[in-house]
């Protein structure tokens, strides 16, 4: 019988962050259901050339194409997927997650499953598992900032998450919405002084070339979801749907573990290259937590009642 063809399209840089999850998914799916699936991992340009008559697509219209069913699977930032489920923006609240174990308990609990299922109400896309895309965020900067007080007026790159903007506004910085892949370009052009990024992107996205220092506030996680067209998933026999879910969970665990393992070696490489890695003092961290507590209050009526409390207690 002909294997079921799945096009998994990679939308973001650096590609290797995302390809490892796709490859792990394919490995597990093959082990659980030998010969049942043919998983084709494609970049945006490869998909365009092979399946879209050469017509260019971008990460910004990938979800629209997935919604039609033309693409079966991908990964996407939670702050992008929040347009279908606003509760995903709650994951950007500062210091929401205590550590990686806490995050894993949330992701693989009823809380995580509810967040993953939440955007099927407004789209034909379903979440399958949580991935990191880098883990706890850092901040490559064009200057050395050793105190939280020095953040006043600093132009900080943030995602289009309203929670991210509110966090840095509360600290007196000037948030600038920009794709994370454009941090190096933004610093070079003077549009930003630095901003939220992740360790895998420091060298892969040439941020090391413009960073004099890297702040390590560890205030939130950079998260992605493995996603699938829900109509395609529903078309599969139930036992294969279960295989897909198992493969996604294992791929998510694998990707998150790899992301965490990359942190210390990348920090060491930065130090060797003369890029100072700076962690706020305990006093500054406490100020950070205290000042940004009002962000929780600001969004208290935005998310499903009790969601933030459940995450904190998980």
pLDDT tens per residue, range 249-297: 999 999 999 999 999 999 999 999 999 999 999 999 999 999 999 999 9
Q: What is the pLDDT of residue 11?
A: 86
Please tell me the pTM assigned to this model: 0.95
For residues 167-177, give the mean pLDDT.
Answer: 97
* pLDDT class of 58 with cuts at 50, 70, 90: confident
Domains of the chain: 4-132+222-260 (3.40.190.170), 139-220+265-302 (3.40.190.170)
Q: What's phi and psi for 54, nearest 5 deg?
A: 80, -5
Arithmetic mean of pLDDT over the chain: 95
What is the helix (H) or strand (E) element at residue 30, kind and residue range? helix 15-32
Burial of 60 (0-12, 13-18, 19+ CB in 10 A): exposed
Share of the chain above pLDDT 70, in %: 100
């Amino acid at each position: 019988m002909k294997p079921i063809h799945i096009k998994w399209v990679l939308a973001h840089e650096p590609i290797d962050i995302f390809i490892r999850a796709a490859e792990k998914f394919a490995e597990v799916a093959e082990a659980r259901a030998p010969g049942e699936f043919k998983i084709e991992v494609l970049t945006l340009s490869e998909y365009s050339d092979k399946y879209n008559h050469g017509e260019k697509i971008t990460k910004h219209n990938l979800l629209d194409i997935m919604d039609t069913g033309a693409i079966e699977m991908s990964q996407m930032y939670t702050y992008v997927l929040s347009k279908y489920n606003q509760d995903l923006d709650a994951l950007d609240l500062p210091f929401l997650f205590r550590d990686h174990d806490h995050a894993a308990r949330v992701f693989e609990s009823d809380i995580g499953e509810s967040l993953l299922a939440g955007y099927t109400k407004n789209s034909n896309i379903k979440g399958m598992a949580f991935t990191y895309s880098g883990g706890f965020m850092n901040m490559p900067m064009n200057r050395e900032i050793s105190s939280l007080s020095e953040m006043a007026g600093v132009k900080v790159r943030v995602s289009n998450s309203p929670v991210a903007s509110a966090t840095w506004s509360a600290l007196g910085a000037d948030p600038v919405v920009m794709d994370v892949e454009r941090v190096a370009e933004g610093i070079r052009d003077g549009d930003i002084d630095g901003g939220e990024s992740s360790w895998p992107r420091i060298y892969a996205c040439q941020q090391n070339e413009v960073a004099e220092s890297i702040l390590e506030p560890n205030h939130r996680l950079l998260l992605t979801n493995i996603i699938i067209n829900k109509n395609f998933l529903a078309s599969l026999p139930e036992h294969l749907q279960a295989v897909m879910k198992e493969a996604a969970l294992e791929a998510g665990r694998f990707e998150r573990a790899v992301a965490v393992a990359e942190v210390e070696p990348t920090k060491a490489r930065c130090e060797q290259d003369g890029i100072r890695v700076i962690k706020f003092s305990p006093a500054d961290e406490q100020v950070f937590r205290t000042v940004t507590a009002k962000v929780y209050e600001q969004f208290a009526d935005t998310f499903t009642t009790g969601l933030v409390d459940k995450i904190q207690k998980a």
